[in-house]
Copies of this chain bind each other. A is one copy, B any other.
Amino acid sequence: MTDKQRHILALCGGVGGAKLALGLSHMLAPGGLTIVANTGDDFEHLGFHISPDVDTVMYTLSGLANPATGWGRDGESWSFMESLRAFGGEDWFQLGDKDLATHVERTRRLRAGLPLSETTATLCKAVGIHHTVTPMTDGRVRTVIETPHGPLAFQHYFVRDKCEPVVTGFDIKGAATASPAPAFQRALDDPALSAIVLCPSNPFVSIDPILTLKGVREGLEKTDVPIIAVSPIVGGKAIKGPAAKMMAELGLAVTTRSIAQHYASFLNGIVIHDEDAAEEESLRSVCPHVLVTNTVMKSLEDKKRLATDVLDFAKKI
């Protein structure tokens, strides 16, 4: 199979996943990359349907993202939020003036009966994205965080409560009966599919919602296509977000091995950072192929280089 015929399926959550997705988009032709974004942390807020991970991928791939935060839009203004606060409105979830247009237009299309996948495709096209970006499903999936004080809706845990509550488990409501979105299913069924990449996203709240969709985990367990995870854990820490904190609270070692074990039923290869090279041997008992490289993506060059490393690694498996 030539590179031109390759088709890579990338599963991702927010900031970390979007970085690798951007790298992959630079290395692959538009027809050769399908990016599936988690929608387990979607929520309804102030009357809007908000899809944080879809938006992070869309803004990152279109160059509209805020480079300082990784989420939200660059050059954002906050007049709406300040005025809302003056009215005593809910202000725990930051909605920039530009970002708001995404939520308004998405919500308008959903209310008109269009599916989220089609709406996402339209918005992505409008901002100049040529690769396929799809929400994981058109169904309603909502990740619930279980804590000793009861369940929390994902954004309440993540944004409002700043990931402070102790996590005891997860309930990915609706996932088991929700079908993969059409473009996701097409990629899974594509005879030209040459690798599935689990981007360096949170395994519990970014990747698991995707895997829990109807038929997805079973499909990955059966497929001959190499499945590669890029570890979101580097040096015992998560580059961003609560993955390491969650692992510790769940009684798991905060290691790349725990990541590999999490995906053990289908994983063919794992990509870990240079500073975790010592874990390579112990990893091999869980995952047959290990690539040690620089997985930290700061510049666009970092993202393209890691994407190239991942694609080369997949070819060798």
Identify the A interface with B (CB < 8 A): 46-48, 73, 76-77, 79-84, 86-89, 96-102, 104-105, 107-108, 111, 122-123, 126-127
Q: Which residues of B contact A104 (CB under 8 A)?
A: 46-47, 80, 84, 89
Q: List 6 A-B contacts (CB under 8 A).
A: A47-B47, A47-B48, A73-B83, A80-B100, A81-B101, A89-B108
Cα–Cα, bound, A215→B121 (Å): 52
Is B98 in contact with A83, judged by CB distance below 8 angstroms? Answer: yes
With A97-B97, A98-B80, A100-B80 already in contact, the answer to whether A86 and B46 are too (CB < 8 A) is no
Q: Which residues of B contact A80 (CB under 8 A)?
A: 80, 97-98, 100-101, 104
Is B47 in contact with A86, judged by CB distance below 8 angstroms? Answer: no
Is B77 in contact with A108, judged by CB distance below 8 angstroms? Answer: no
Is B79 in contact with A126, judged by CB distance below 8 angstroms? Answer: no
Q: Which residues of B contact A96 (CB under 8 A)?
A: 79
Cα–Cα, bound, A101→B86 (Å): 9
Is B83 in contact with A101, judged by CB distance below 8 angstroms? Answer: yes
Selected from B77, B88, B122, the residue in CB contact (under 8 A) with A77 is B77
Cα–Cα, bound, A178→B48 (Å): 30
With A79-B77, A89-B108 already in contact, the answer to whether A101 and B126 are too (CB < 8 A) is no
- In the complex, what residue of chain B is closest to A78 when comparing beta carbons? B97
Selected from B82, B88, B97, B108, the residue in CB contact (under 8 A) with A79 is B97
Is B107 in contact with A47, judged by CB distance below 8 angstroms? Answer: yes
Distance in angstroms from A273 CB to nearest chain B CB is 36
